[in-house]
């Protein structure tokens, strides 16, 4: 009987677990080792395996369309598969989150209005200078350079 060892990646279905089996393969031409993984659906009668457990499965007669393996034994419990970063935060990360939270609560509308007022004052001053001839208008300067 064939058997395989792998890590449980899903146990959401009733009496079914999904196991990821990794194996090392050597490339025939380039002679470099690389990892190949494959998923197997296995029958878990007692629903005892959980995500992250390292288990051994054995081949059996077909139980359903995808299930042709049975759970033989659990080799190690709760060797959790970590897909997300650890919950431990450093001081700099906490400070960053606090500053982002403060920015979200700060009134951004008032800042935008003030910027618009400043920009309009600057543009009106520039327009006055252009009319007086103190500063050349960018369009006028381009036309002069072309001719």
DSSP class per residue in 37-97: EEEEEEE-TT----TT-EEEEEE-S-SSSSEEEEEEEEEES------S--S---HHHHHHH
CB of 52 within 8 A of CB of 7? yes
* Angle ∠(17,18,22) on CA atoms, nearest 5: 140
CB of 55 within 8 A of CB of 74? yes
Q: Is the pLDDT of residue 37 over 80?
A: yes
Residue owning tokens 């050349």:
136
The domain defined by 3-76 folds into: OB fold (Dihydrolipoamide Acetyltransferase, E2P) (2.40.50)
pLDDT for position 27: 97
- Spatial CA neighbour of 70 closest among 145, 143, 141, 2: 2
Q: Which residues contact 54 (CB under 8 A, 6 or more apart)?
A: 5, 6, 7, 8, 74, 75, 76, 79
Residue ranges of domains in the chain: 3-76, 92-133
pLDDT tens-digit series, residues 45-67: 999 999 999 999 999 999 999 99
Q: Is the pLDDT of residue 92 over 60?
A: yes
């Amino acid at each position: 009987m064939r058997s395989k060892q792998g890590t449980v990646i899903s146990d959401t279905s009733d009496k079914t677990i999904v196991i990821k089996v990794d194996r090392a393969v050597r490339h025939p031409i380039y002679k470099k080792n690389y990892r190949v993984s494959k998923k197997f659906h296995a029958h878990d009668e007692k629903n005892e395996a959980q995500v992250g457990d390292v288990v051994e499965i054995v081949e059996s007669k077909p139980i359903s369309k995808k299930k042709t393996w049975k759970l033989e034994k659990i080799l190690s419990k709760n060797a959790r598969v970590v897909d997300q970063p650890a919950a431990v935060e450093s001081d700099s990360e906490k400070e960053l989150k606090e500053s982002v939270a403060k920015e979200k609560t700060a009134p951004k509308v008032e800042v935008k209005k003030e910027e618009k007022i400043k920009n309009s004052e600057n543009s009106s001053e520039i327009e006055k200078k252009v009319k007086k001839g103190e500063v050349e208008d960018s369009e006028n300067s381009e036309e002069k350079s072309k001719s």
